[in-house]
Each structure stands twice: as C-alpha cells, then as structure tokens.
Amino acid sequence: MRRRRVIALCLALLCTSAASLVPTPSGAAACRPEDRPETGMSGAVPLADQLSGRSRLGYSCNLSLIAATDLGSGGDTQMTWNQDCVYRSVPTGGGDGIAVVDVSDPAHPRLVRVLQEPEWQGRGGVLGIHEGIHASAARGILVIPIGTMLTTYDVSEDCTAPRLVSHFDFGFPAEPFKGPAFQGAGIHSGQLSPDGTFYYATDIGNGALSPTGPCLTIVDLLDVAHPKRVMRWGDEFPCHDLDFNADGTRAYLGFYASMVGHPSAVVGAFTPVVQPSHLLSGLRIVDTSEVQARVADPEILILGELTGGRQHTETFTRIGGGRSYVVAAEEGFCPGGNARIVDVTDEVNPVAVSELTLGVNTLPGCLIAQADRDAGRNLLLYMTHYISVDDPADAKLAFISWYSAGLRVFDISDPSHPVEVAYYNPGVGDASDRSHDSTTTYPRYLPETGQVWVGSGVNALSILSLDPALRP
C-alpha cells in the first residue's frame, strides 16, 4: 500500500508545472581579462564549441592553471590527500589502481607509483575502486575500498610511500539481490570518522536490481592491523555518501527511501524524472555518538530528515558565527543536478535555505544543454558530484565538481544568497579523443596558498590558483 501511495504521488507530481519545480541560476561570475570564459549559458560546453575545437581549450574564470597531469592514463572518479600527497584513482591496463602523486612542488606534480594489490583482482563489479577512498591526517592512514574489502595503508611517516597494513573483507549481506550474481559491487562510497578510527561504508545497491541497503557498514580501525566490523545499519534503505560533524557524533547521510534503492538512483541520474525521485531521496541526520564512544551494541538514531534530492554528497560546515549547515550535491538529470544549502542547526527540523545552480540545470537551459552531449561519451553531463569548503569551522567558499561543467566556486558567506565567483573547466588538448573534460573528485583548497587541487577524467590532476581577491 505504501509503495502504491508513493507511485501515485510521483505521477501527480509529473503533472505539476515544471517551471514551479526548478531553481533559477545563481548568477554568473565576473571574470578577469586574462581568463577564458564560457561562451554559452553558465556551465555549458556548447556543441558549437565542440565542433570548432574551442572546447578543447577549456574555460576559466578567476582560477588559473599552475600544472596538470594525466598520470599516464587519465583519472577515475575520486581522489584523497594527506600532507603533500594526492592519492588518485586511475584506470590501468591491469585493473584498478591508486596513483600516488607528490605535489610538494605544485608546479611539477610527480607520479611516484601506482598502488595495485593482487587481492583487488575480480572485486568491485563494474565500479571497482569507486568513491570511498579516504585518507586521515589525524591517523596518517589511507583506506582503499573495493567490493566488500578495505585495504589500509600507513602514510604517517612518508606520504609518498604508503605501507600496506591490512586487507579486511566484511562480506556481502544476506539480502538476495546482493553479490556478484546480481552485479553487486558492495561499497559505493564512504568516509573515515574525523578521528580516523572508524570507516563508514555506504551502499546504494550497486547492482541492477537491488532495492535495499545497508545504508552503512561500519568498520573499527582503531587497530589498523586487525579491523573488525562493528555493525550494519539501515538494512532496508540505501545511502550514497555521508559526512560528519567535527567530533563524529553526528552523520549526515544522502539516502534513498526503503525498497527503491539503486533503481531510483538510476532513474534520478539518467532520466528527466527528477522531481518524483526527490520524494524518495534526500538528507538524513543521524546520531552516531554511541559508535564513536565504542558502546557495546551501539544504536544509531535518525534525528531528522529532509527530502528533495541532493542525495549524492553531504558536506557539513558552519557558516557565519556558529550555525550548522550541510551543502549537498545531486547526481541528477536536468531539471536538477544542482546543489543546495541546508540549515541543520535544528537537527530535528532541517531547512533548505538556498540552491546553488547553473543555467545547464534549469529550464529551459537544461533542455538545450542535453543536445551538447559528446556523442554519448559523458553520460553524467551537468551534475554536481563532490563538495569541499574553504574552512569547515566558518565557510566562505564552496568548491563543487560538476562533471562536464568543471569545477565551480560559490561564495556562501551568506548561505541564503550564494553567488558563483569562479570556475575552471580543464582543456583536453588536441591529443585527446574527448571534446571536453569531466570533473568528478573532491576538490582540495589550501587557504595558505589559494591553491585548489581537483581531478577530472582526462587531466587526472589539476593544480589551480584562486584569484587573491576571492580568497577569504
């Protein structure tokens, strides 16, 4: 009965005026004379630019390139970092790999080696090493998830020389649609707790049929050499990604409703049926204090919930004197795929205060932008993916990887009125068979230098400089 009510509500919403469901663009950045600004609507790589070759040069506004490298094979979905090192997922001829890059000289990033372990072979389904690689500066460890296994390295002494410590396989749950027989891949994404002693793995199904979670599988890494599974939680609903408050006692989850799971994620990302999918996904705030305190048989409590999509990435921050916010991204088809800012100060009643969007994510612009597809090469076209802020204690800037729209930077010092101030869409040059790049990773901002490190598909790593006038 519940599912029939949801379906009926979805159908009703499809009949609602589309213009009433979508946001308006957040304004265009004012660029410098030396920049190479976009030629069309904000975020777009126009088909005319692809045909003329203009898009191969890329686009820039208030961000300058210091150095870029393809690491020999381009880049995959994610990267993380510790000290002066970047750990970047890269496709290799022999399977999944993690490039170790020394960025101590930002003008000359140096590929040190590519991590590849025999234990990774045959794991992870079609996704392989995906979105959950994470390093902890507090612990000096690097965690690589693949399938249902975590591989942990010690990077505390020399970030360029990860030392393998352990492999830990927590296994597939008993749910019948999990596992390799149904193209199940296990871990989709995940994060280390702020103190680096727990790893929270998320699961959105990662198989063609799976409608369930578990939302979280939590692994205790206090003894890195001997990890242990703490619990599975949220068996009935999947989650995409998460973030924590500063002490790890709250988690902010991007969730999909019970029994819709991976199929709902696919519908939201690849079809224009975005708004109905918003009823089935969003943000959940949960109490993880008993896990963090290592209580025996810990309980995780859902404190508050806000639907409306933006379920891919949740970045917790404080803005302007102490109020708490989550900046959330949505891997969704237009009209949608933009980000939003949610006030989570009242954990029981989170409130969306604004949206961060581009012309390519609004009507009628997004309909025009869909004609810009690069012969199907960039299926996830103009969608937000990962978000970082300049200072989690008091954010002024949000840095968002936006697939084909590149890296976008918004001033969020007034969270109710975010304004775009910079962007960088990497050029691909004449040697690439792509007409434009696709930017996917968490960006890293270094406030002491104004540098931004970010990864994309062709240019696996770009080192950028933010205009000094925009640095907080």
Confidence (pLDDT) at 450 = 98
Helix and strand counts by DSSP (H, E) for the chain = 6, 29
Confidence (pLDDT) at 208 = 57
- Residue 431 pLDDT grade (very low, low, confident, very high; cuts 50, 70, 90): confident
Alpha helix locations (H) across 172-288? Answer: 261-270, 274-278
> Terminal CA-to-CA distance of the chain, rounded, Å?
52
Confidence (pLDDT) at 184 = 64
- CATH code of residue 140: 2.130.10.10
For the chain, the domain total comes to 1
Cα separation of 261 and 240, whole Å? 10
The secondary element (H helix, E strand) that includes residue 296 is: none
- Is 4:12 a contact under the CB 8 Å cutoff? no
- Bond into 276 cis (ω within 30): no
Q: Please give the C-alpha separations between residue 243 and each of 128, 250, 346, in angstroms, as whole numbers.
A: 22, 8, 17
3 state DSSP class of 455? coil
Burial class (CB in 10 A: 0-12, 13-18, 19+), 293: exposed
Residues 6 or more apart whose CB falls under 8 angstroms from that of 401 comprise 384, 385, 386, 387, 407, 439, 440, 441, 442, 443, 454, 455, 456
- Residue 270 pLDDT grade (very low, low, confident, very high; cuts 50, 70, 90): confident
Alpha helix locations (H) across 75-215? Answer: none
Which residue in 187, 236, 172, 183 sits closest to 207, CA to CA? Answer: 183
- Is 76:91 a contact under the CB 8 Å cutoff? yes
pLDDT, tens digit, 9 for 90 and up, residues 369-403: 877 765 556 666 899 999 999 999 999 999 999 99
Which residue in 264, 249, 306 sits closest to 283, CA to CA? Answer: 306
Question: Cα torsion at 204, 206, 210, 216 (round to 10°)?
Answer: -40
- Is 343:328 a contact under the CB 8 Å cutoff? no
Tokens of 37: 């600004």
Residues 6 or more apart whose CB falls under 8 angstroms from that of 20 comprise none
Residue 218: what residue type?
I
Residue labelled with tokens 């012969």: 375
Q: Which of 78-82, 276-280, 399-403 has the lowest mean pLDDT?
A: 276-280
- Residue 310 pLDDT grade (very low, low, confident, very high; cuts 50, 70, 90): confident
Overall residue count recorded for the chain in this entry: 472
What average pLDDT does range 99-107 have in this prediction? 98
Percent of the chain with pLDDT over 90: 67
Confidence (pLDDT) at 8 = 35
Residue 190: what residue type?
G
* Residue 43 structural domain: 2-470
Q: How far is CA 336 from the centre of its chain?
A: 16
What average pLDDT does range 54-65 have in this prediction? 97
Which bin fits 162, alpha (ψ -120 to 50), beta or left (φ > 0)? beta
- Is 200:298 a contact under the CB 8 Å cutoff? no
pTM listed for this prediction: 0.92
Burial class (CB in 10 A: 0-12, 13-18, 19+), 290: middle
Which bin fits 125, alpha (ψ -120 to 50), beta or left (φ > 0)? left
pLDDT, tens digit, 9 for 90 and up, residues 168-212: 999 988 777 776 666 567 898 999 999 999 999 998 655 556 778
The pLDDT of residue 128 is above 90: no
pLDDT higher at 434 or 456: 456
The pLDDT of residue 13 is above 50: no
Confidence (pLDDT) at 6 = 34
What average pLDDT does range 224-248 have in this prediction? 95
- Residue 335 pLDDT grade (very low, low, confident, very high; cuts 50, 70, 90): confident
What φ, ψ does residue 165 adopt, rounded to 5°?
-110, -45
Which string of b and e fits 147-186 if b means at least 16 CB within 10 Å?
bbbbbbbbbeeebbebeebebbbbebbebebbbeebbbbb
3 state DSSP class of 429? coil
Confidence (pLDDT) at 375 = 52
Question: Partners of 142 in the beta sheet?
Answer: 135, 153
Cα separation of 215 and 121, whole Å? 25
Checking DSSP bridges between strand 397-401 and strand 407-411, what pairing results, if any? antiparallel
Mean pLDDT of the chain: 88
The pLDDT of residue 345 is above 80: yes
- Is 179:193 a contact under the CB 8 Å cutoff? no
The secondary element (H helix, E strand) that includes residue 281 is: strand 281-287
Confidence (pLDDT) at 203 = 82
Tokens of 64: 């300058």
Q: Which of 10-19, 34-43, 52-61, 117-126 has the lowest mean pLDDT?
A: 10-19
